[in-house]
Structure 1
Amino acid sequence: MRQVKNPFGLEIAHPSTTTVATGIRLAPDCLENCILTCYWGCSVQKLHEAVQKHAYCFRIKTPKALEDALYSEYLYREQYFIGKNSKEEKYCQLPEDGKSFDFGTVPRTHYPLVALLTLADEENRELYDIVSLLSVIHIPDESYRLACRILYQYLLMAQGQFYDLKQLFMSASNSSTASSKDSSSKDANDKNLLEKLKLSEEESDLHEETGKDCVVCQNGTVNWVLLPCRHTCLCDGCVKYFQQCPMCRQFIQESFPLFSQTELGKDTFRPALANRAS
């Protein structure tokens, strides 16, 4: 493993009230000026072919590159400029004549919405290993009422690799949150650190979770992510004693900390990665 810096972040604002008829509010959060391009009714087959083309043919660093790979097989396109570190939500909606489009029953041939984040400034594309973030979003309609959510998020790399962002799992038994001033201050600090990393939509749930106690000692702050199971349940003191995950008993192949202790005092987040040989 090696550390990379992700300039992109995208979440759904108010997912419980989102439908195809009412539109969707997206909350981008980027380290650089970016372009958010939204594609309604994108072909499922063409999208997955496009991701493969990124690996084998040409890099998807711009909206035009994705559209060429899709052969323009989508219903409607919207585009927004996203300022560096801007928290402004962007409202996306099909035009009136497109709201009657039937995305079909499961398995569908078209995704309701695909959102692409790319770097706006060409010079910045040479600074990052990650060149774009592709988010596949389900939006409920008359045919399929499953609540709005991000189905997949792919990080597209400059060298052609692509990675599917995965959710981290924390113990539900540690659901209590501290109410003291010290704990509130720590939670706020943790949130700022996580924002600097630009975690995925699922991983952003950790904003409220980073103060939880270790499942073993019930005292230390949870800090370690265990792979391949993705349980996030051990503190710095306990992690060295385990070869199997204490939650699911799966053998630990690799692990990495959410926070580097030497950097926390400097208010800097550093997602150090560590291999476990045993």
Structure 2
Amino acid sequence: LRFTHTSTPFLHTEEIKCMVSSQEDYRLLAFWGVSIRELHMFLWRPWSVISSAINQGVLLMGHYQQCGFEIKDVSHRDKIITMSLPKGPREPLDLGTPPRLCYPLVIFLVREPRDALHPDETVALINVVHIKDSVCTLPTSILAQYLKQANGQLSCLKQLYLATGNPVSYDSGMEFVEGVDQLCVVCQYYPLSRALLPCRHTCICASCFNKLDTCPMCRSPIKSYFCIRNEEYLPECDRPGAPPTKPEPIAQWLQDRLTDFLGFHR
């Protein structure tokens, strides 16, 4: 699950546009003016408690000022969703003066339940969104994103660092990498597709990952990784699970990389 903020709201209509994509069937629930304290206490509860509250329609009941819309959808690629405060004779959001006690907008992306669910699987993505207003004039942005696993574990998503050296959050970083197709810093041929851990540098492709044991940006050891995009660009022989092939000589490999870099056909 992923949430991407794509535009700032129009203050006179309290409208905000989001870009959502999901590889699983999901439910989206939005809440306006959510108590910061109660939200964080609630997120640490067991997943069974949270799931039950969602199914009963009492999620965060009594701890938000206005309830946004709820939608259910199947897996899909990027889709823009427009959110706005519910219409009708209701009081405007009262977020108070800084330091505020309420988040302007909280969005839950919840995976639809299924029979077999591994304890380590992600079941929900919680997005805390700041909306620019006359009191707090910081640009509209995602303040925090939390992953909830079936075993109850709660994790806060951290920033990634692209090869440019600029830190980017998950919301802007995903769109930037996929939209511009920045190239791997090693081969300069395949697009970036893997974020290295624990350093969080996003600088290499899947092909070069198999040839490295340290990050090419900071030289720290690579302990793990995760993909930030699909890796269909890989040749069949380089994809996970492909039968082993005879390694090509290093001289031939370097020559091929140079040929590709100069734009000539092999």
Residues paired across the two proteins, number: 229
Which runs of 4 or more aligned residues in structure 1 lie more than 6 Å from their structure 2 counterparts after TM superposition? Answer: 259-263
Please name the residue that 1:85 is paired with.
75
Amino acid at match of 1:237: C
Q: CA 1:65/1:132 → structure 2, altered by over 3 Å: closer, same or farther?
A: same
The alignment's TM-score, normalised by the length of structure 1, stands at 0.66
Q: What secondary structure does 1:38 align onto?
A: strand
Distance 1:238 1:31 in 2: 24
Cα drift, residue 209 of structure 1: 4.4
Rg: which structure is higher? 2
1:228 paired with 2:198, answer yes
Which letter maps to 1:114?
A: V
Other-structure match for 1:168:
160
Q: Which amino acid aligns with 1:212?
A: L
- Alpha-carbon distance in 1 for matches of 2:115, 2:65: 28
Give the structure 2 partner of residue 11 of structure 1: 4
Partner Cα separation in structure 2 for residue 241 and residue 33 of structure 1: 36
- Residue 207 of structure 1 corresponds to 178
* Kept after mapping to 1: 8 A contact 2:34/2:103: yes
RMSD: 3.6
Query: Shift of the alpha carbon at 1:138?
Result: 0.7
**Structure 2 residue aligned with 1:237, among 201, 208, 212?**
208
Q: Is the 8 A contact 1:59 1:158 kept in 2?
A: no
Larger strand share, 1 or 2? 2
Worse overlay, 27-36 or 147-156: 27-36
Q: Counterpart of 2:249?
A: none
Structure with the larger RCO, 1 or 2 (CA within 8 Å, 6+ apart): 1
CA contact under 8 A between 1:19 and 1:141: conserved in structure 2?
yes
Secondary structure of the 1:48 match is helix
Any idea what the Cα deviations from partners look like across 1:229-259, whole Å, max 9, x if unmatched? 211123433774553x44345x225132637
Residue aligning to 1:75: 65
Structure 1 residues 170 and 153, CA gap change in structure 2 (3 angstroms): same
CA distance in 2, matches of 1:30, 1:52: 24
Deviates more, 1:255-264 or 1:33-42: 255-264
1:18–1:148 Cα contact (<8 Å) kept? no
What TM-score does the superposition give when structure 2 sets the normalisation length? 0.69
Indicate whether 1:151 and 2:120 are aligned: no
Contact 1:226 1:252 in 2 (8 A): no
Give, as a single letter, the amino acid of the residue that structure 2 aligns with 1:84: V
Is there any run of 5+ residues in structure 1 with no aligned partner, and where?
1-7, 175-198, 271-278
Match of 2:20 in 1: 28
Structure with the bigger percentage of helix: 1
SS in 1 for 2:51: coil
Aligned counterpart in structure 2 of residue 49 of structure 1, from 41, 47, 51: 41
1:104-143 residue CA offsets vs partner (Å, 9 max, x unmatched): 33322100000112244x4x26446222221111111111
Conserved? CA contact 2:8–2:17, under 8 Å: no
SS in structure 2 at match of 1:101 = coil
The residue type equivalent to 1:252 in the other structure is P
The residue correspondences of 1:122-201 to structure 2 (distance < 5 A) are 122=113, 124=114, 126-127=116-117, 129-172=121-164, 200-201=170-171
